[in-house]
Copies of this chain bind each other. A is one copy, B any other.
Amino acid sequence: MSGSITRQATSRPRSRANGHAMAVEEKGHLELRLWLRLIGCSGKMESILSQRLRKEFKTSMARFDVLAQLERFPDGLTMSDLSRRLIVSNGAITGLVDKLMQGGLVVRAYDPADRRSVIVRLTRKGRESFLRMARRHEEWVVSILGELSIEAQSELLQNLTLLHRNLDTHVKS
């Protein structure tokens, strides 16, 4: 860790904000340490992937996500569909699609049956672009997580799935 400060002390990408995790003392309940590790791992991993995506493809996670959803639906998705699927507000989607359109990766089409709706579709260029990125992205994930034994991976997946179910209980509380 540490990571040398570049020219003017602008810290390197390193990792994403670890959130409070880093903050909470190193001693403490098992639960606290677990939480710290959890956010530490996902943050660092996210940062690595995001950095590579930006470096190799000059794009962001958010845009990659949009393309990924569209790739699964060749007939296109409305803005609201995208918003729901990406768990991002509708306002954000407007901006993302605008950007992608500028790059010629998607097109907006108007639904003849409902003029309120906009249907966003991948262009051929968008599709090819996405497939290239997805391939690399998957390679990265596999190469990083693949260092864990299959057993460790399975155990993790299982326990995280358990946790995931519990989390839904607390969302509204």
Contact = CB atoms under 8 A, between A and B. Distances in A.
Contacts of A62: 17, 19
Q: How many copies does the complex hold?
A: 2
A47 B65 CA distance: 19
A38 B41 contact: yes
Nearest to A64: B20
Interface residues of A, number: 92
A102 interface: no
Interface string A31-61: 1111101111111111111100100000001
Nearest to A15: B87
> Chain A interface secondary structure, helix, strand, loop or mixed?
helix
A111 interface: no
Given A19-B46, A20-B49, A48-B171, A37 B87 contact: no
Interface string A1-32: 11101001111001111111011110011111
Nearest to A116: B9
Given A80-B9, A142-B32, A171-B44, A156 B148 contact: no
Contacts of A3: 84, 171
A109 interface: no
A32 B90 contact: no
A138 B85 contact: no
Nearest to A91: B10
Nearest to A17: B88
A43 B42 contact: yes
Given A11-B84, A44-B171, A163 B145 contact: yes
A173 B106 CA distance: 31
